[in-house]
Structure 1
Amino acid sequence: MKHNFLFSVALMMFLLIPEIMSQPEAALSDSTKRPLMNIVDYLKSKIEQERQELVMTEGEIIRYMDGLPPFSIYKDNFFITGIPLNKGINRETADAKFQLSIRHRLTSSRLPFDTFLYLTYTQKSFWDIYRDSAPFRDSNYNPGIGLGRYIIVDNRLTGAAFLHLEHESNGRDSLESRSTNWIGFSGKYFLTSNLAVGFKITIPFFTGKENSDLYDYRGTGYFNADLKSSNNKWWLSGTFSLIKSVKTINLKLTASYKISDRFNQYIFGELYSGTGDSLLDYKRKDLQLRAGICIKPDFYNLF
């Protein structure tokens, strides 16, 4: 069947070429050239699709993913500084924000249902670098452990799903203590090779008494999209969560420009609008624009 298809396409091109070549060059309009280009493009895509499906099976895809380095970047690792857009700009309101985030896969996909076990750790800090003595206003510590499973459809790796247990706190006591725990279910799915969407649903428990209403300001459902340009230079992301009512959301938009083809470093900008970005000041309404540098995980990193 495959050979008959290729033979038919080749025969069609063979019959069309003499007819087109017999006409003056000026007469070769775009409408005449386009059918040939469409045939060539379709043929190339068909061959590439069949090659990928023949080369990789589901077992081979899992073995390949399990063979990747187990220790890597988890979320964005960045250092950014900026200003508020909803209040006066001064040394008290301008600040810096940085994040360190790593993950480690503990097992291969040999657990029940082809799942794997992993650890994550993220630390996010808010630094008042423009004030005298440059104090840290708040630091949030977020370790976690989870189970992941790759989503493979028709011998194609299309995404992954995760079940995880996480803790977050700011390491303080008394009235400034903030802490929470949650069980989360999340997923990531590639709509195209340049567009991925994801979600995260959390079920909180053992939330600290000083921040018992935290999720009224953070929300329990998060949805995000990532778009990469075809030349791999630009990476645009958006994340939002519903809070209190469907009329109120927390929104984070980021834009990244890759500095070098050899290194995974980006010029990075972030716009945050909402509440709950910092544990200490989770009730405060922020509209903050910051920019700096970021080391990002690979676009196709699945956890």
Structure 2
Amino acid sequence: MKSLCLNLIRAISIGFGLFIHSVATAGVSYSLVENHAQPGQAITVRALVFNDEANALTWTPPEHLVLQWHHADNSITRSLARIKQPTKELRLPVNQFAMIEWAAIVPSAAKGIPVISIEGAPDLFALDTSPEGIRLASQPANAPIIDAGAAPIGQMDPIIDAEQLERKGISPTTGPAVAQAPLSPLSQQAFNNFRSAISSHDPIYFIVGSEPKANARFQISFKYRLFNTENEKEAKFHNHLYLAYTQRSLWDLSSDSMPFVDTTYNPSLFWRKEKLWQNENSPFYFGLNTGVEHASNGKSGVDSRSINDVFIQPEFNYVFGGGSTLSFMPRFKSYFAVSSDNADYKDYMGNVAWQLRWQQEHGLSVTGAYQQGKQGRKTSQVDVSWPLQRTPLNMNGYLYAQFYRGYGETLLHYNRRSQSQVRFGIALTP
């Protein structure tokens, strides 16, 4: 028992390391594109909208923003910024980004470096409005480095020893001006396009069980949208094409070397539209996912396994009054170019994966899947998740539990029946 506990703790620690990700908050973050502009010139206010909640985010960008210009003499000027490309509604799937821009004019009364804020938002910016020839922010800083806060209030702080700074690779006498273009518009646009195109696909989790001995199962999955669109309502057919990659491993934690039992590599190309049909007066909506996928375990010889299939997955959804959604998503498969090492794969896993999911908005999610092959070979899986932000831990991610029984838990042993298995752990996306 002691050995098992140590193995579980060790596995969960490694799992945290495998799945560390940047912290983000669903909502809107504003920034100012320029850092220098003179009175009468145009500037751009940019909003980055990111959705890391459990459900799709809907947001309508305002046509106008109100800017407050805080001047050195304590006076305040208010002006308007107008949206560049009017958008009635912006719908963001989970873990996707969008960028919106507004244009504004620098007020005639602006001098020096006023501080700018957006009414209703906590963001603050500074803009150098000095004449072109004497930009304040573009002047090199010819000054020593002080030990800020070391002197009593009202007195000059002492200068830090030059040799001490030089040993750290810091110039003690001068510093560069503010960079006018930290990132070229072309590079910045390419980076934003990438961030808005990549998102989660299947659940990303790390879970641990103990049947028959200590073991772990983890999965990494993401998809990439091939053609971005700024307005989902105007999206064309090609805007719904995706490339996806999922990798799932079963890990033996009970053996001395803790080897991986098997790993499945699963790339796919598909077309998916979440709301192919929707009536605003009805709680029902219909989606469709169809494409081609490949799965293999990357091994050679007698342990080699390889599957190819074409699939179509209609998605029937019903939204309850409380905000939860019930989804029925059967996936129908037709196999082709199946490896001779696993030619009877469909006899164990069948041609249909029946899937049912109930999901609360930023709450409990329960997903069940059932497959049946020939001669009564049955496989079932149930996944349950709960957001960690709604626990005393107040963390990102989800508590995750999974029940599995049947065939095909690994490609290598697709024809062996797994005993009932319950695993617990964490997930980045449910």
TM-score by length of 1: 0.69
2:242 paired residue number:
118
- Alpha-carbon spacing, 1:60–1:242, altered in 2? closer, same or farther (3 Å): farther
Q: Deviations over 1:87-134 (max 9, x none)?
A: xx4xxx43111000001111243237xx62111100000111221111
In structure 2, runs of 5+ residues without a counterpart are 1-86, 99-195, 230-234
Name 1:8's counterpart in structure 2: none
Match of 2:251 in 1: 127
Match of 2:279 among 154, 157, 166: 154
Q: Which of 273, 276, 279 is the aligned partner of 2:408? A: 276
Q: How does 1:60-71 map to 2 (within 5 A)?
A: 64=91, 69-71=196-198
Q: Structure 1 or 2: larger helix share? A: 1
Identify which of structures 1 and 2 has the higher relative contact order when contacts are C-alpha pairs closer than 8 Å and 6+ apart. 1
- Please say if residues 96 and 129 of structure 1, whose CA atoms lie closer than 8 Å, have aligned partners that are also in contact: yes
Q: Using the TM superposition, give the Cα deviation of residue 249 of structure 1 relative to its aligned residue in structure 2, in angstroms.
A: 2.2
Equivalent residue number for residue 381 of structure 2: 252
1:157-187 Cα deviation digits (max 9, x unpaired): 8242022110000000010000010101012
State the partner residue of 2:429.
296
Amino acid at match of 2:409: D
Q: Following the alignment from structure 1 to structure 2, what is the Cα–Cα distance between the partners of residues 244 and 265?
A: 38
| Corresponding residue number in structure 2 for 1:170 | 297
Deviations 1:171-219 (A, max 9, x none): 0001000001010101222122431221111110011111111111111
Deviations 1:18-37 (A, max 9, x none): xxxxxxxxxxxxxxxxxxxx
Residues 60 and 148 of structure 1, relative CA distance in 2, 3 Å threshold: farther
Displacement after TM superposition at 1:83 (Å)? 2.3
Within 2, Cα distance between the matches of 1:64 and 1:201? 28
**How many positions carry a matched residue from both structures?**
227
1:73 paired residue number: 200
Question: What is the CA-CA distance between 1:229 and the residue it aligns to?
Answer: 4.1
Q: What's 1:141 paired with?
A: 265
**For residue 110 of structure 1, what is the amino acid of its counterpart?**
K
CA distance in 2, matches of 1:217, 1:60: 49
Residue type at the aligned position of 1:197: F
Query: What is the DSSP-based 3-state SS (H/G/I as helix, E as strand, rest coil) of the residue aligned with 1:295?
Result: strand
The answer on whether the counterparts of 2:278 and 2:286 sit within 8 Å (CA) in structure 1 is no
Q: Is this contact kept in 2: 1:264–1:296, CA < 8 A?
A: no
Please, which of 220, 225, 240 is the counterpart of residue 370 of structure 2? 240
- Offset of residue 152 of structure 1: 2.6
Show the counterpart of 2:219: 99
CA distance in 2, matches of 1:70, 1:264: 22
Q: What residue identity is the alignment partner of 2:199?
A: S
Structure 1 spans left out of the alignment, 5+ residues = 1-58, 298-303
